[in-house]
Structure formats: structure tokens, C-alpha cells
């Protein structure tokens, strides 16, 4: 039994907004530099870093734009500091060139994406920059898990000297939960950052450079451009071992639903209610969007009773590509989500009503037509006469 405070909150816990909890988790993990530019629903993350980092001996900069923010983070990382940046997907689009270069330079950047819906899946898992690079992507389902995954992000970034992205959304940023933010000590030790440009070896003939170009100081071994690219390419398969997922009710499932992030929690609740009514439905929740849990999805789809797989997303359908790869033809794959936000385009739309989620999962399970996504009946595209047939 946990002790409780006079407010009824367990001792050591307090009610706080998701944005604040994520920031406190980052500081607990040792983050001491953050730079960003305000953009809803990310703005509160920046505000909490600005409020809390100075008391931890750190620095937060409200940069002139996302371009300056990521450049500042790059500089802090090169000195060996744990540093981060963030935005929404639109702001992160401006950072893509630097993300590519930072990855090729092997700098352990942590990126916060408080996304508008789930329309940034391609951006997060494929990247919009140049070259062969991947970011580890962690997608928490709620604030409590976010506190854990933020600290894991800083650990994995240093472990692999590679950027890690936290894929959040409006709900994660603004939901309040009773949270205790405690530092997590990971079992595997990390080596010292002997590569950091911290001034300790300047003028000694052992000076350092952090670069994506494969060059080195005079008299020091260098990979060259091709060697640097080959080095990065052969590193990616090792990082793929960091895959994480959650699944339940698959032993007898006839229908399997794949969902991630905040919406996955709604899907899990809906499935729990449907199973109580006798429907044999299970789920797989990717926790890492990259590396994607292909094997977990494949195993679920090969279940002895599985007849269909559904992908629930708050977008037009992006993760479904990875779901199809994982299923590999073992069962038909159907999209059961849709674009759904509030009127501002920032927040939660009507499709996340539990009744809506339940209806969509049940329709797939029963093999009937999906309910119309709220709003599609008004704003859905109408095909024109000259578009009726494919061009030959």
C-alpha cells in the first residue's frame, strides 16, 4: 500500500501536465541544454524547460527559429553535454538537414515531437533529410510511460551516439497525471565521451573534431566520405535490436489491431470492452516506431485464428505500410483510422471518442463497412469526371 498525501495523491507524486513531466524526466536524465522555438502543441515543453533548467544548472534558449534551435543543440552536443531540441512536425521539417548531419556526425541528440495528430509518422521513421540515416523513435502511450521513455531516449542516444525522437502529441503534452519523476539508472554502463570537443586536449596534438564528413585533424586517421557512409550503414542493423512493443489477447484473436501512441490507449480500452462482450480481438502496440516491431506483428498475424489485421492511426494511413511489411501476406490488412483533430488542427478529434474507436474496431471484426470518419462526410474529396478512369 502506498502512503498518501492530504490531497489523496500517493506520497512522492504530484499532479502535473505531461509537458512538465517530460521536461522533469529529461532533467533527471541529465539534460542540461535545450533550444527550441514555440509552436503548438510543443510550446509548453519549451516553457517548462525555460522555467526548470536554470535551477538544474542548465540552459534553455528560445531561439529565433527552428534552424537556430537545432544548430545550438548541435553545438552543445559536440561538447559532450546531454542536449535536446523539439517542435511539432512542421517545425521539425525545418531541421531535417541538420538531423541528417547530426546523425552522420554521431551526436546523441534527443528530439521532442509534440505532433498534431499522427501525420508525422513518415517524417519520424523515414526522415526528410539526406543520406543513409535512422533515428530511434519512441512513442509513449501516456504521461507515465513518457517519463520512462524520455530517460530511455537520453540513454539510447548516448549508447549509440545517434539521435532519438520522442513521438508525442497534444494529449501527451496537455493531459495531467499524478506522476513521480525519479531518475532511472540503466544497468548497462556507458563509456566516457572521449570524442567530445571540450577543450581538454586543445594544443596538444590530440585536438578533436566532430563532423559528418569523414575527415580528421592533420596526422590523425580519417574514414573519408565513403568510409564514413559505410560506417553509418553498418551501424544501423545493430540499432535495430532496440525494438520494443506490447501485445495482449493474441492467443485466440481472430482480429488483431495495431496502434501506437496516445490513440493506442483508447484502442486497448475499446478492445477490453469488446472482449468482455465475447469478441476475440487482440492488439500489438509498437513502442519503438523505428525500429518497428515487425517480428511481433508477424507473430500476431500468424496466430491460429487470425483472419484480419487493422491499423488504427490518426492520419490518412502511414504506419499501415510497416504493418503490411510485418504481416507479409499472412492476413488481410485494413486501415481503420482517419484524420481527426479539433477545429484548430492541434488537438483531439471526434474519432477518439471511445464509441467511435469501438465502432471502428468492431466493424472490422464483423467484416462490415467502416463508419465514416467524422468530418469526412462534409469535407471528403469528390472525384471529378475527368478523374474517373486511370490515364493510359
Residue 7 confidence class, pLDDT cut points 50, 70, 90: very low
- Residues 252, 375, single domain; the answer is yes
In which band, very low, low, confident or very high, does the pLDDT at 6 lie, cut at 50, 70 and 90?
very low
Reply yes or no on whether the pLDDT at 255 is more than 60: yes
Among the residue ranges 7-21, 68-82, 212-226, 316-330, the one predicted with the least confidence is 7-21
Q: Is the dihedral of CA 265, 41, 143, 61 positive or negative?
A: positive
Query: Could you tell me the CA-to-CA distances from 154 to 8, 9, 294 in Å, in that order?
Result: 32, 29, 24
Task: Kindly state whether residue 21 falls inside one of the protein's structural domains.
Answer: yes
Q: Please give the pLDDT value at position 168.
A: 97
Write the pLDDT tens digit of every residue in 146-158. 999 999 999 999 9
Kind plus residue range of the DSSP H or E element containing 4: none
Percent of the chain with pLDDT over 90: 85
Q: Give residue-wise pLDDT tens across range 366-380.
A: 999 999 999 999 999
Dig out the grid coordinates for 352 from the structure: 477518439
Burial category of 379 from C-beta neighbours within 10 Å (exposed 0-12, middle 13-18, buried 19 and up): exposed
Domain that holds residue 266: 245-379
| Phi–psi pair at 17, nearest 5 degrees | -65, 150
Q: What angle do CA 124, 130, 131 make, to 5 degrees?
A: 100
Backbone angles phi, psi at 67, to 5 degrees: -65, -45
Domain stop point among 156, 179, 202: 179
Residue-wise over 342-365: b if at least 16 C-beta within 10 A, else e? eeeebbbbebbeeebbbbbbbbbb
Which domain-ending residue is among 146, 179, 212? 179
Question: Is it the case that residue 65 has pLDDT exceeding 60?
Answer: yes
In whole angstroms, what is the distance from residue 98 CA to residue 163 CA?
11
pLDDT of residue 3: 32
Provide mean pLDDT across the span 155-182.
Answer: 96
3-state class (DSSP) for residue 284: strand
In this structure, are 249 and 116 located in the same domain? no
Q: What is the pLDDT of residue 207?
A: 79
Q: Is residue 86 part of a domain?
A: yes
Cell 469501438, residue located: 358
Instruction: Say if residue 124 is in the same domain as residue 44.
Output: yes
Residue 191 belongs to a domain:
no
Residues 287, 167 share a domain: no
- What is the structure's pLDDT at 2? 31
150 and 249 in a single domain? The answer is no
Q: Which tops the pLDDT comparison, 322 or 213?
A: 322
Angle, alpha carbons 34-35-38 (nearest 5°): 120
- Crossing angle of the two packed helices 143-160 and 224-239, in degrees rounded to 10: 140
CB atoms within 10 A of CB 20: 22
Residue 5 has pLDDT above 50, yes or no: no
In a domain, 357, yes or no: yes
- CB burial of residue 132 (10 Å; 0-12, 13-18, 19+): middle
Count of domains for the chain = 2
Q: State whether 147 and 253 are in the same domain.
A: no
Q: Average model confidence (pLDDT) for the chain?
A: 93
Supply the DSSP string of 29-65, one letter for each residue.
Answer: TTEEEEEE---TTTHHHHHHHHHHTGGGT-EEEE-SS
pLDDT at site 203: 72
Q: Is 276 helix (H, G, I), strand (E, B) or coil?
A: helix
Pick the residue with more confidence: 102 or 207? 102
pLDDT digits (tens, 9 = 90+) for 217-231: 777 888 888 998 999
Taking residues 204-211, report their average pLDDT.
Answer: 80
Nearest to 49 by CA among 35, 28, 69: 35
Query: Is 25 inside a domain boundary?
Result: yes
Report the share of the chain in percent with pLDDT over 70: 97
Q: Check whether residue 272 and residue 130 sit in a common domain.
A: no
Give the pLDDT score at 4. Answer: 34
Q: CATH no. for residue 276?
A: 3.40.50.920
Residue 131 lies in a domain: yes
**How many degrees, rounded to 5, is the angle at CA 269 between CA 267 and CA 272?**
110
How far is the C-alpha of 175 from the C-alpha of 342, rounded, in Å? 15
How far apart are the C-alpha atoms of 375 and 353, rounded to whole Å?
Answer: 14
Domain boundary among 179, 210, 228: 179
**275-286: pLDDT as tens digits:** 999 999 999 999
Would residue 5 count as lying in a domain? no
Predicted TM-score of the model (pTM): 0.94
Whole-number pLDDT of residue 216: 82
Q: Which residues of 48-58 are buried (b: 16+ CB within 10 A; e: fewer)?
A: bbbebbeeeeb
Task: Report if residue 385 sits inside a domain.
Answer: no
The candidate with the shortest Cα–Cα distance to 84, out of 16, 64, 63, is 63
Amino acid at each position: 500500500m502506498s502512503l498518501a498525501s492530504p490531497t489523496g495523491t500517493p506520497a512522492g507524486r504530484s499532479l502535473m501536465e505531461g509537458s512538465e513531466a517530460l521536461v522533469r524526466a529529461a532533467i533527471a536524465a541529465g539534460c542540461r541544454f535545450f533550444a527550441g522555438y514555440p509552436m503548438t502543441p510543443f510550446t509548453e515543453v519549451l516553457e517548462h524547460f525555460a522555467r526548470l533548467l536554470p535551477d538544474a544548472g542548465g540552459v534553455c534558449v528560445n531561439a529565433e527559429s527552428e534552424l537556430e534551435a537545432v544548430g545550438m543543440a548541435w553545438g552543445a552536443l559536440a561538447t559532450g553535454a546531454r542536449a535536446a531540441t523539439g517542435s511539432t512536425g512542421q517545425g521539425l521539417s525545418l531541421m531535417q538537414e541538420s538531423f541528417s548531419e547530426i546523425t552522420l556526425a554521431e551526436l546523441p541528440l534527443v528530439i521532442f515531437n509534440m505532433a498534431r495528430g499522427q501525420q508525422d509518422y513518415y517524417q519520424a521513421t523515414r526522415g526528410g533529410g539526406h543520406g543513409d540515416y535512422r533515428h530511434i523513435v519512441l512513442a509513449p502511450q501516456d504521461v507515465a510511460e513518457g517519463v520512462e521513455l524520455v530517460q530511455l531516449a537520453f540513454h539510447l542516444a548516448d549508447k549509440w551516439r545517434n539521435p532519438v525522437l520522442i513521438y508525442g502529441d497534444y494529449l501527451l503534452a496537455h493531459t495531467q497525471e499524478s506522476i513521480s519523476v525519479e531518475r532511472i539508472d540503466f544497468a548497462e554502463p556507458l563509456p566516457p565521451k572521449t570524442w567530445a570537443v571540450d577543450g581538454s586536449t586543445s594544443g596538444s596534438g590530440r585536438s578533436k573534431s566532430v563532423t559528418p564528413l569523414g575527415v580528421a585533424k592533420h596526422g590523425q586517421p580519417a574514414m573519408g566520405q565513403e568510409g564514413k557512409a559505410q560506417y553509418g550503414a553498418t551501424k544501423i542493423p545493430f540499432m535495430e535490436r532496440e525494438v520494443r512493443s506490447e501485445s495482449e489477447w493474441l492467443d485466440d484473436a481472430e482480429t488483431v489491431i495495431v496502434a501506437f501512441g496516445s490513440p493506442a490507449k483508447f484502442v486497448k480500452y475499446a478492445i477490453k470492452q469488446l472482449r468482455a462482450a465475447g469478441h476475440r480481438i487482440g492488439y500489438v502496440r509498437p513502442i519503438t516506431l523505428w525500429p518497428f516491431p515487425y517480428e511481433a506483428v508477424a507473430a500476431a498475424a500468424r496466430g491460429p485464428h487470425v483472419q484480419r489485421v487493422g491499423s488504427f492511426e490518426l492520419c490518412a494511413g502511414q504506419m499501415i505500410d510497416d504493418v503490411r511489411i510485418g504481416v507479409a501476406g499472412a492476413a488481410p490488412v485494413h486501415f481503420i483510422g482517419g484524420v481527426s483533430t479539433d477545429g484548430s488542427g492541434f488537438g483531439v478529434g471526434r474519432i477518439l471518442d471511445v464509441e467511435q474507436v469501438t465502432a471502428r474496431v468492431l466493424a472490422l471484426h464483423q467484416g462490415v463497412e467502416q463508419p465514416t470518419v467524422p468530418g469526412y462526410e462534409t469535407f471528403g474529396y469528390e472525384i471529378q469526371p475527368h478523374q474517373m478512369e486511370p490515364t493510359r
